[in-house]
């Protein structure tokens, strides 16, 4: 993990911290009440680079989401404002307006106020990875998630961690990258841009439940297929930012992958670094304990 540090011990500690964050995530929505999903069929194999997937789910993934509730929670409200600020194609420079810079800041201000983020901040300060001063910490978060960088060598500053992970982007109009956030998935699905193709599972014993908070999904977005994408479902934006920020800051590798058990889910959490920023980050569901019965 860190230079020569035993990954098992790091995992024990990380597991503990991430479960603390999970317990503090009071803005997580309740499945069956605040939202309803419909998993339908198990998705099939899609060859890398192919944009054809058999549709094993005729209906949308999200049957219902209480948008009033979403918009009444400050962190979600600011988060939703950010989703329309990005140019989907890599290689196309992002034009960031003053309003958008302000929206980025408001989002960071709002998440830093939550117990989830306060807990993450304390932990990072204790590990010597973050400044204890809140203002400096916000700047650090800004650099990790919102600083623009070149993802496509030929183009301008076309991407940032937030765009990739939460909003999604396309590469050469041939492949979907990112889009691991459930709120964005729901909104894109509602607008007819996303077509959910089914859940991904290793075998029939591995069938997910409709109240699971982590899923592996197959879907198409504006005609391009994502063969499998891991997503948290129903969790708050601050929870995802906190979790991935911790993993990003606790390692200097280009790619970090840790296996942790959060609540009842065995997850592999993956973070790619792009200089001082996040390239991408996502969860992969390995198993959920109620299925091992």
**224 against 16, higher pLDDT:** 16
- List residues with catalytic annotation: 164, 180, 226
In terms of Cα–Cα distance, which of 191, 184, 182, 162 is closest to 232? Answer: 182
Could you tell me the sign of the dihedral formed by the alpha carbons of 150, 82, 34, 57, in that order? negative
Longest dimension (CA), the chain: 53
Per-residue pLDDT tens digits for 18-53: 999 999 999 999 999 999 999 999 999 988 778 888
Q: Is the pTM of this model over 0.85?
A: yes
Query: Residue 222: beta bridge partners?
Result: none
Which of the two residues, 96 and 24, has the higher pLDDT score? 24
pLDDT at 8 over 60: no
**Per-residue model confidence as pLDDT tens digits over 112-152:** 999 999 999 999 999 999 999 999 999 999 999 998 877 66
Among residues 264, 253, 182, which one has the least CA distance to residue 217? Answer: 182
DSSP the chain: --TT--HHHHHHHHHHHHHHHHHH-TTPPPBTTTEEE---SBP----TT--------SS-SEEEE-HHHHHHSHHHHHHHHHTTS--SBTTSPP---HHHHHHHHHHHHHHHTSHHHHHHHHHHHHTTSS-SSHHHHHHHHHHHHT--B-SSTTSSS-B-HHIIIII-EEETTTEEE---BHHHHHHHHHTT-EEEEEE--SSGGG---TT-SEEEEEEEETTEEEEEEEEE-S--HHHHHHHHHHHHHT--SSEEEEEEEETTEEEEEEEEEETTEEEEEEEEEEEEGGGG-
Residue whose structure tokens are 């977005």: 221
The Cα 46–Cα 178 span in angstroms is 17
pLDDT digits (tens, 9 = 90+) for 169-217: 666 565 556 778 999 999 999 989 899 999 998 776 678 899 999 999 9
Average pLDDT, the chain: 86
Q: Is the pLDDT of residue 7 over 80?
A: no
Residue 65: band (very low, low, confident or very high) from pLDDT cuts 50, 70, 90: very high
* Angstrom distance (rounded) from CA 253 to CA 41: 37
pLDDT at 4: 42
Confidence band for 289, pLDDT divided at 50, 70 and 90 = low
Q: Where are the domains of the chain?
A: 12-41+54-203+212-251
pLDDT of residue 201: 86
Q: Can you tell me the mean pLDDT for 258-268?
A: 91
CA 146 from centre of chain: 14
Which single residue is written with the structure tokens 């309740």? 30
């Amino acid at each position: 993990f860190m230079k020569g540090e035993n990954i098992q011990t790091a995992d024990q500690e990380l597991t503990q911290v991430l479960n603390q964050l999970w317990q503090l995530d009071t803005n997580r929505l309740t499945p069956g009440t605040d939202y309803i999903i419909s998993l339908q069929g198990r998705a099939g194999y899609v060859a890398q680079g192919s944009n054809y997937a058999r549709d094993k789910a005729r209906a949308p993934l999200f049957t219902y989401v209480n948008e009033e509730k979403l918009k009444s929670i400050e962190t979600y409200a600011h988060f939703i404002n950010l989703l329309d600020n990005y140019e989907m194609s890599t290689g196309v420079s992002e034009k960031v307006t003053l309003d958008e810079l302000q929206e980025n800041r408001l989002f960071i201000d709002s998440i830093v106020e939550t117990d989830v983020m306060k807990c993450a901040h304390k932990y990072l300060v204790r590990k010597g990875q973050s400044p204890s001063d809140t203002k400096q910490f916000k700047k650090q978060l800004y650099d990790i998630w919102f600083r623009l960088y070149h993802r496509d060598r030929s183009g301008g500053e076309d991407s940032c961690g937030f765009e990739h992970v939460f909003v999604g982007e396309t590469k050469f109009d041939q492949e979907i990258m990112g889009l691991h956030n459930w709120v964005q998935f729901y909104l894109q699905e509602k607008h007819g841009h996303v077509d959910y193709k089914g859940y991904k599972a290793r075998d029939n014993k591995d069938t997910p439940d409709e109240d699971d908070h982590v899923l592996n999904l197959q879907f198409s977005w504006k005609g391009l297929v994502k063969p499998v994408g891991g997503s948290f479902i129903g969790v708050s934006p601050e929870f995802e930012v906190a979790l991935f920020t911790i993993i990003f800051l606790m390692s200097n590798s280009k790619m970090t992958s840790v296996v942790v058990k959060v609540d009842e889910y065995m997850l592999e959490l993956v973070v790619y670094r792009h200089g001082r920023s996040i390239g991408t980050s996502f969860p992969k569901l390995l198993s959920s304990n109620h299925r091992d019965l």
